[in-house]
Structure 1
Amino acid sequence: MSIPFACDLTAIPPGERAAHHEATRQLVAAATIIRESGEGFAFELAADEYETVTRFVAKERLCCPFLTFVVTARANQPQVELRITGPAGAKEFIRAELHLPPG
């Protein structure tokens, strides 16, 4: 079964959208490293940003079901990693959605 490459902007309730936009802004601002890969991006953040990452993923996966989110948090490590990937064309979508500079 194929998942369409389209966002469902109604998946996040109107009263929660502002908080989601703020979590998105915080995620990008807090990233200490942003790595581009063939399928998307990896963000490294301080471990204390874990809640920001999980808040972002919890909402973003509702409106963008074609994206894959992988959060890696290891014990005794000072960072958490978020990888966002998707089908062909998703990388440019991610770049635009998160307001990342051109590669």
Structure 2
Amino acid sequence: MKALTPEERARHKQLSEKLLAARKETVETEKGYEFQYGPDDVTLAELAQWVVAESKCCPFFDFHIDLENGGKLVCLRLTGEEGIKAFIRAEFSIH
């Protein structure tokens, strides 16, 4: 992942692990997947930081961050062109 500095890569790995572990729900959408989190588990700032780094190495993703249900649900949607769902399933351990 040459798009990130070693420091950015380390922080991105840390955030990726946190996002995978904190995921409360995974919802398949028409063009990708939505990952849902509790606001006490993942902050909007952490999601934004993850998106900035991820977009450097995976510019083919479309990223959507939503705060829903009166702030009780934080959502990250990853979408893209045809074939993106298989890539997301593999990269984000969706079975």
Which whole-Å CA distance do the structure 2 matches of 1:96 and 1:44 have between them? 18
Q: How many residue pairs are counted as aligned between the two chains? A: 93
Unaligned runs of 5+ in 1: 1-8
Q: Would you say the 8 A contact 1:26–1:52 is kept in 2?
A: no
Q: Calculate the TM-score normalised by the size of structure 2.
A: 0.85
**Residue in structure 2 matching 1:12, options 4, 20, 28:** 4
Unaligned runs of 5+ in 2: none
Structure-2 residue corresponding to 1:63: 57
Structural RMSD (CA): 1.7
Aligned runs of 1:28-43 on 2, under 5 Å?
Answer: 28-43=20-35
Aligned runs of 1:74-89 on 2, under 5 Å?
Answer: 74=68, 76-89=70-83
Matching of residue 23 in structure 1 with residue 15 in structure 2 = yes
C-alpha deviation, 1:71, in angstroms: 0.3
Segments ≥4 residues shifted beyond 6 Å: none
Q: Calculate the TM-score normalised by the size of structure 1.
A: 0.79
